Amino acid sequence: MSSFPVATMPAPPVGVVGLGQLGGSLAAALAAAGRPVAGWDVDAGAREAAAARGVRISRELAGVVVLAVPLPAVATALDELTIDPDATVTDVGSVKVPVLEVLGDAYGSRFVGGHPMAGTERSGHAATDPGLFAGARWAVCLDPGTDLHRWLRVAEVAIAVGAEVVPVTSADHDDAVAAISHVPHLLAAALATVAGQAGPLALGLAAGSFRDGTRVAGSDPAFVTSMVEGNAGPTAAALARVQQQLARPWPDLVADGHAVRSRTTGRRPVRVPLDRTALLALGRQGGAVTGRLAAFLEGWVPEGA
Ligand SMILES: NC(=O)c1ccc[n+]([C@@H]2O[C@H](COP(=O)([O-])OP(=O)(O)OC[C@H]3O[C@@H](n4cnc5c(N)ncnc54)[C@H](O)[C@@H]3O)[C@@H](O)[C@H]2O)c1
């Protein structure tokens, strides 16, 4: 759990809709930290598993309501539930512009998009891990219509489970994750397919580089498909850049990739005013918010930024 002064941040109740890998882990982490958390899932097994971890099962939710359902269910998952009219609604979906279009329309400035950069190739409540978010980045979207105080409430929930908050617009988020997540998922699928075509000998010899390069190909295909199709434009653009790279002389390509992957940067602590422009600049520099101190937010940027 976080060691920074989150006690000075507002701490409303949390309601989690969808108690699978992401939602179950969030609800379990909050419950383990002694925080009241309610939740709902259409699956009775997921409800039972969450209740056993201290989550109050309810269809009436208030405070910060976190949608942690598969992307195709985001638009309708709250329809049958009773959501407090003053609740802040957020989500954990892997794409942000399409979710903003739907939930921004429905909830206006009460909606704040989010995306924890955590998760494994497993899914469902059996994949619940209360430590999932410790040390992870959690994108919390600051779009032109976002209410800064509601943004803070969502940021506080992320920080309460050990994450570091990256302020970002939905569009910048989708461009960035196309490069570091959505294209890697497609490449993992392509690598695994090619290895399968190479036959049993190749698969029998497969070791570390194959395992690391294809790990996410073990994810639920429905989850990956909704993610890459939901972010089709930025993903296609990033994939085209990868294809350009593959056409370069191999020694140059290998050297450039190695330089990026072996880069190490320290962290420089910073204080940022509670101001949209300053927060977005922090995120663009690769930094993150880790806590709040009076009127300022505490965080860090990479050395040299
Ligand atoms: N898996 C990852 O690595 C990862 C990482 C970051 C974000 N995400 C995002 O998190 C969200 C959830 O992913 P997950 O991996 O936790 O999926 P999951 O399949 O593990 O869990 C989803 C849960 O939602 C429940 N559900 C489905 N429809 C529902 C509805 N209408 N109302 C209530 N509950 C419903 C399911 O029963 C299930 O328990 C997705 O939007 C995904 O894009 C996933």
Taking only the tens place, the pLDDT of each residue in 66-89 is 999 999 999 999 999 999 999 999
**Looking at residue 216, what is its pLDDT?**
96
pLDDT at 260 over 50: yes
Q: Residue 9's pLDDT band (boundaries 50, 70, 90)?
A: low
DSSP 217: G
- For residue 1, being part of any structural domain is answered with no
- For residue 118, being part of any structural domain is answered with yes
Residue nearest to atom 42 of ligand 1 (CA): 93
- Determine how β-strand 37-40 pairs with β-strand 14-17: parallel
**Looking at residue 4, what is its pLDDT?**
46
Residue with tokens 């969450």: 50
pLDDT tens-digit profile of 218-246?
999 999 999 999 999 999 999 999 999 99
Global confidence as pTM: 0.94
**125 plus 231 within the same structural domain:** no
**Residues near 289 by Cβ (< 8 Å), separated by ≥ 6?**
155, 159, 164, 165, 166, 167, 272, 279, 282, 297, 298, 299
- For residue 252, being part of any structural domain is answered with no
- For residue 253, being part of any structural domain is answered with no
**232 plus 280 within the same structural domain:** no
Pocket around ligand 1 at a 6 A CB cut-off: 17-23, 40-43, 46, 68-71, 73, 77, 92-94, 115-116, 119, 123-125, 127, 223, 227
**230 plus 288 within the same structural domain:** no
pLDDT at 2 over 80: no
For residue 226, the ligand 1 atom closest to its alpha carbon is 43
**129 plus 41 within the same structural domain:** yes
**285 plus 235 within the same structural domain:** no
Enclosing H/E stretch for 116: strand 114-116
Distance, CA of 135 to CA of 130 (rounded, Å): 12
pLDDT tens-digit profile of 185-211?
999 999 999 999 999 999 999 999 999
Q: Residue 292's pLDDT band (boundaries 50, 70, 90)?
A: confident
Cβ neighbourhood burial of 201 (10 Å; 0-12, 13-18, 19+): exposed
How confident is the model over 12-36, as a mean pLDDT?
Answer: 96
pLDDT at 11 over 90: no
Query: What one-character-per-residue DSSP string does 88-110 give?
Result: EEEE--S--HHHIIIIIHHHGGG
Residue nearest to atom 41 of ligand 1 (CA): 93
**Looking at residue 34, what is its pLDDT?**
92
pLDDT tens-digit profile of 110-139?
999 999 999 998 999 999 999 999 999 999
**Looking at residue 7, what is its pLDDT?**
46
For residue 25, the ligand 1 atom closest to its alpha carbon is 16
Ligand 1 center to 299 CA (angstroms): 29
Ligand 1 center to 186 CA (angstroms): 20
CA Rg, the chain, in Å?
20
- What is the domain range of residue 160? 6-168+266-302
Ligand 1 center to 18 CA (angstroms): 6
Residue nearest to atom 2 of ligand 1 (CA): 119
**Looking at residue 10, what is its pLDDT?**
53
Ligand 1 center to 66 CA (angstroms): 11
- For residue 12, being part of any structural domain is answered with yes
How many CB atoms are located within 10 Å of the residue 155 CB? Answer: 29
pLDDT above 90 covers what percent of the chain? Answer: 92
- Please tell me which residue, 9 or 104, carries the higher pLDDT value: 104
Ligand 1 center to 191 CA (angstroms): 26
CATH number, domain containing residue 233: 1.10.3660.10
- For residue 90, being part of any structural domain is answered with yes
Ligand 1 center to 23 CA (angstroms): 7
Ligand 1 center to 268 CA (angstroms): 35
**130 plus 270 within the same structural domain:** yes
Residue nearest to atom 40 of ligand 1 (CA): 70
**Looking at residue 1, what is its pLDDT?**
40
pLDDT at 294 over 80: no
**Residues near 10 by Cβ (< 8 Å), separated by ≥ 6?**
152, 153, 156
**Looking at residue 91, what is its pLDDT?**
98
Selection from 91, 116, 92, 94 nearest residue 104 by Cα: 91
pLDDT tens-digit profile of 167-187?
999 999 999 999 999 999 999
Domain total for the chain? 2
Residue nearest to atom 3 of ligand 1 (CA): 119
- For residue 138, being part of any structural domain is answered with yes
Ligand 1 center to 210 CA (angstroms): 27
Probe target for ligand 1 pocket from 22, 65, 89, 121, with the most ligand atoms within 8 Å of CB: 22
For residue 120, the ligand 1 atom closest to its alpha carbon is 3
**240 plus 279 within the same structural domain:** no
**20 plus 146 within the same structural domain:** yes
**58 plus 179 within the same structural domain:** no
How confident is the model over 4-20, as a mean pLDDT?
Answer: 76
**208 plus 231 within the same structural domain:** yes
pLDDT, the chain, mean = 95
Ligand 1 center to 72 CA (angstroms): 10
**74 plus 120 within the same structural domain:** yes
**Looking at residue 295, what is its pLDDT?**
80
**87 plus 225 within the same structural domain:** no
Q: Residues 19, 146, 299, 171: is their CA dihedral positive or negative?
A: positive
CATH number, domain containing residue 89: 3.40.50.720
**Looking at residue 35, what is its pLDDT?**
93
pLDDT at 33 over 50: yes
Tokens of 174: 């989708």
- For residue 221, being part of any structural domain is answered with yes
Q: Which residues of 68-80 are buried (b: 16+ CB within 10 A; e: fewer)?
A: bbbbeebbebbee
